[in-house]
Structure 1
Amino acid sequence: MKRFVVAGIVTLGGFLTANAQCKPITSLVENFDTWKDINKCWTAQGGKAMLYASDKKIIFYSMTSPGENMYLVTPEIKAGTYTLSLDISDNGGDTVLEIFSAGNASDAKSYRSIAKASKITGEKKTYTISIKKDTHLALKVLLNGVHQAVYVDNFSLTSKK
C-alpha cells in the first residue's frame, strides 16, 4: 500500500511539473533540431494522417487520407502583437496553410482563423498577428493528395513593441 501511495504522489508531481513548465510565453523560437517527438508544451492533431517530428523539422503527412484537418498547436501565448515567421515547404501538389487562435489546444471547435489560408510555395512565410487574450496558435495544414507532405522549420514568434 505504501508503494502505491508513493507512486501516486510521484506521478501527480510529474503532471504538476509538466504543467508548470508550460506557462504562457511572449516569444518562441524553435528550429525543431532536438525534437524526437512533439514537445510536451505543443499539441499535434493529425486525424487519420500523420503529424510528427523528424529530420530536424515538423512533418505533416497525408498518407492515404487527403483532406484531413491537421494542426500543430503552440504553447499558450500572452496577449499582444507578434511577428510570426516560419519556413514551410511541400513535396508537390496543392497544399495550404492557415493560422488560428486556439482557446483550448485540444478542442478544434475553439479555433478561430486569424490569417487567411495561403498556398504553400516553399518560401518563408511571415505574418503580423494580434492576440487580444492569452491563446495558443494553431497551424492548420491541408494536404489535398495521397502521400503529400509539408515540412515546417525555423518557427519564430517575436513580440512587436
Structure 2
Amino acid sequence: MKKIIALTGIIASGGFLTANAQCKTVSSITENFDAWKEINKCWTAHQGKAMLYASDKKIIFYSMTNPQENMYMTTPKIKAGKYILTFDISDNGGETTLDIFSTHNTSDVKSFVSITKPSKITSGKKSYDINLKKDSNLGLKVLLNGIHQAVYVDNFSLKPKK
C-alpha cells in the first residue's frame, strides 16, 4: 500500500525523484537493476505525466496515454574522466528515441547537455565513449511517440577508459 501511495504521489506531481545528498561521487557503475524495487536513491528520475520505474529486473520508461513526454533518468555524480558506457535497451515497437546527456543539476532539465545525437532505439547492447571534463551526472533521455509504448534498460555499465 505504501508503494502505491508513493507512486501515485509521484505520478500526480509529475515531479522528480531526487538523489540523496549522501550519495558519493563514483568512478564506475555496474548496475543490472535486479534488486531494485524502486528507483535507487542515488539516481534521479523525471517522468512527467508518464511512468519511469524499476520492475522485472530492469528500468522501464512507459508512456501510458502520454506520448511525447520526455523522460529522464540520471546516474549518481561521476568523477571527471574518460569512460565506456554500455547498456542493453529494447522497446515494444513504434517510434522511440534515446539521447544521452550530462548535467550538473539533476533537477533542472535546461542544464542537460546532449552527449549524443538523439537516435531511434533499436534492441541490443549499446556502447558509447564518454568524456566528462568535470564531475557530472550522466543521463538517458527517452522519448516515446505513442500511447502504451515502453523502453527497457538493463545491464548499465560505466567503466574508466584505458
Scaled by the length of structure 1, the TM-score of the pair is: 0.87
**Amino acid across the alignment from 1:114:** I
- Name the count of aligned residue pairs: 143
Q: Deviation string for 1:91-140 (max 9, x for gaps)?
A: 00011110000110111111000111111111111000100000001100
User: What residue in structure 2 maps to residue 62 of structure 1?
Assistant: 63
1:1-161 alignment runs, 5 A limit: 19-20=21-22, 22-161=23-162
SS at match of 2:106: coil
Letter in 2 for 1:148: Q
Q: Could you say what secondary structure the match of 1:109 adopts?
A: helix
Q: Secondary structure at the match of 2:110?
A: helix
Letter of the 1:19 partner, please give it.
Answer: A
Residue type at the aligned position of 2:149:
Q
Partners of 1:92 and 1:86 in 2: CA distance: 19
Matched residue of 2:118: which SS? strand
In structure 1, stretches of 5+ residues that fail to align are 1-17
* CA distance in 2 between partners of 1:106 and 1:33 (Å): 26
Deviations 1:46-74 (A, max 9, x none): 00000000000000000011001100110
Give runs of ≥4 in structure 1 deviating > 2 Å: none
Aligned partner of residue 115 in structure 1, secondary structure: coil
1:77-101 alpha-carbon deviations (Å, 9 max, x no partner): 1100100000000000011110000
1:19 Cα deviation from its structure 2 partner: 2.7
- Residue type of the partner of 1:23? K
| The 10-residue stretch of structure 1 (118-127 or 52-61) with the greater mean CA deviation from structure 2 | 118-127
> Which is greater in Rg?
1
Question: Given residue 79 of structure 1, which amino acid in structure 2 is its aligned partner?
Answer: A
- Distance in 2 (alpha carbons) for counterparts of 1:153 and 1:37: 14
SS in 2 for 1:84: strand
> Distance between the aligned counterparts of 2:115 and 2:104, measured in 1?
13
Unaligned runs of 5+ in 2: 1-19
Which amino acid letter does the alignment assign opposite residue 95 of structure 2? D
Of 99-108 and 52-61, deviating more is 99-108
Whichever residue aligns with residue 21 of structure 2, its letter is N
